[in-house]
């Protein structure tokens, strides 16, 4: 079994840098909104399940992590989504944890289930098996699940296999690298989900010899983080927004930015509202800087030009709830809490009801509820 370098697992313990800086959602008073009795779209949301068939652990800061229980949370959430007949489900990335690569061939879970080569083939990657377990748990819900992917998928699998397992339509750009950004239009045709690939420019699972995007990532880190490459995930010595320049993050490349611009322009022509979906947060203030996309400002520039189209941006990666409304555009930026850090019987996930004039978020467990006015789209 090929193990990933220990430095790459640092992002599974980013609580040391993130939780002290998280901003909590600020509720918009419902009486300030016009009334509308029924939502025209209902969404289930999960972020950072990070399942691994290993004993419970903790982040560097001591935050408990319940690797096995997160699978139970995923199954419970799927049952709840099915019961309430939501129209679709958003998975905001990191469906499994990088620590899957530490699983022993004869590791038993708490129910005695053995993961070993005899059952799955001698070349079995424990990351494959873990993804399959989570996908099976989510399959209780029989509707569409829209996936993005994060750094932890990349600690386990190449992009081709992530795409096959999570139905992410990766395509090969002219440079030869695979990218996984795409759109999904709701059945009511009035909401378009725009799924960004924030690991477009990234080190992880990019060929060191031939990948243009890996070369760009290396240049970005070399320029901005003196700890690279020896301690590529360390923010030591970095100040404020520079902390984002660590190797478990990534960036959106120029072709994707152009695609985003064109996609939002078309959404306006089609009279659609857009919800942006990404693993990494985009707006400073929604999480610690260490979780942000490297070129968040370029993505923000595009979104701000289309503020009459973009209702909100949903992301994970930071593990705690965070929220900020962009002062320049009025767009809502929301980070969703992680099931990984939910101790049984707490089960952390959420629902989003979409109305003409607002978004209503109903949280379960550690996920905070809120109401967001869409008056910036008038």
Look at residue 103 in the predicted model and tell me its pLDDT: 82
What pLDDT digit, counting tens, does each position of 201-211 carry? 999 999 999 99
- Residue 47, token pair as written in the block: 């972020």
Look at residue 24 in the predicted model and tell me its pLDDT: 47
Report residue 78's pLDDT band, with 50, 70 and 90 as the boundaries. Answer: very high
Q: For the whole prediction, is pTM greater than 0.85?
A: yes
What pLDDT digit, counting tens, does each position of 330-371 carry? 999 999 999 999 888 999 999 999 999 999 999 999 999 999
Average pLDDT estimate for 169-192:
95
From residue 248, give the alpha-carbon distance in Å to each of 49, 80, 234, 238, 333.
Answer: 17, 32, 10, 15, 21
Look at residue 171 in the predicted model and tell me its pLDDT: 96
283: nearest Cα among 15, 23, 17: 23
- Residue 156 CB burial class (10 angstroms; 0-12, 13-18, ≥19): buried
Report residue 107's pLDDT band, with 50, 70 and 90 as the boundaries. Answer: low
Report residue 109's pLDDT band, with 50, 70 and 90 as the boundaries. Answer: low
pLDDT mean across residues, the chain:
88
**Residues of 90-111 as b/e, b for ≥16 C-beta within 10 angstroms?**
bbbbbbbbbbbbbbeeebeeee
Look at residue 6 in the predicted model and tell me its pLDDT: 32
What stretches of 102-242 adopt beta strand conformation (E)?
107-108, 114-115, 144-147, 171-172, 178-179, 182-185, 191-195
The percent of residues above 70 in pLDDT, for the chain, comes to 85
Residue 115 has pLDDT above 60, yes or no: no
Look at residue 125 in the predicted model and tell me its pLDDT: 87
Look at residue 188 in the predicted model and tell me its pLDDT: 87
Average pLDDT estimate for 29-39:
56
CA angle 148, 138, 143 (to 5 degrees): 80
CA distance 165 to 173: 21
Look at residue 111 in the predicted model and tell me its pLDDT: 53
CA distance 27 to 64: 28
Look at residue 18 in the predicted model and tell me its pLDDT: 37
CA distance 37 to 39: 7
What pLDDT digit, counting tens, does each position of 135-151 carry? 999 999 999 999 999 99
């Amino acid at each position: 079994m090929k193990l990933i370098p220990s430095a790459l697992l640092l992002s599974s313990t980013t609580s040391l840098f993130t939780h002290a800086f998280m901003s909590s959602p600020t509720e918009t008073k419902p009486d300030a909104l016009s009334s509308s009795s029924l939502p025209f779209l209902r969404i289930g949301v999960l972020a950072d399940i990070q399942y691994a068939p290993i004993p419970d652990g903790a982040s560097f800061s001591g935050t408990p992590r319940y690797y096995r229980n997160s699978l139970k949370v995923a199954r419970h959430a799927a049952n709840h989504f099915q019961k309430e007949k939501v129209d679709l489900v958003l998975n905001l990335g990191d469906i499994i944890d990088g620590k899957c690569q530490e699983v022993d061939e004869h590791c038993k879970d708490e129910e005695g289930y053995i993961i070993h080569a005899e059952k799955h083939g001698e070349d079995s990657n424990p990351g494959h098996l873990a993804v399959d377990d989570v996908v099976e748990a989510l399959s209780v819900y029989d509707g569409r699940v829209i996936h993005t992917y994060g750094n932890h998928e990349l600690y386990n699998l190449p992009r081709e296999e992530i795409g096959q397992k999570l139905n992410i339509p990766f395509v090969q750009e002219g440079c030869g690298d695979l990218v996984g950004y795409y759109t999904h239009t709701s059945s009511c045709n009035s909401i378009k989900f725009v799924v960004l690939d924030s690991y477009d420019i990234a080190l992880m699972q990019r060929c060191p010899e031939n990948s243009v995007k890996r070369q760009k990532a290396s240049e970005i880190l070399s320029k901005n983080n003196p700890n690279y490459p020896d301690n590529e995930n360390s923010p030591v010595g970095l100040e404020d927004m520079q902390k984002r320049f660590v190797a478990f993050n990534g960036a959106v490349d120029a072709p994707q930015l152009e695609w985003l611009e064109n996609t939002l322009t078309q959404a306006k022509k089609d009279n659609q509202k857009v919800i942006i979906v990404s693993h990494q947060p985009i707006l400073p203030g929604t999480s610690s800087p260490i979780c942000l996309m490297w070129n968040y400002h370029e993505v923000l520039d595009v979104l701000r030009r289309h503020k009459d189209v973009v209702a909100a941006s949903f992301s994970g990666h930071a593990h705690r709830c965070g929220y900020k409304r962009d002062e320049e555009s009025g767009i809502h930026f929301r980070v969703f809490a992680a099931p990984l850090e939910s101790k049984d019987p707490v089960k952390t996930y959420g629902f989003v009801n979409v109305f003409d004039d607002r978004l209503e978020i109903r949280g379960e467990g550690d996920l905070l509820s809120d109401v967001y006015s869409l008056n910036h789209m008038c």
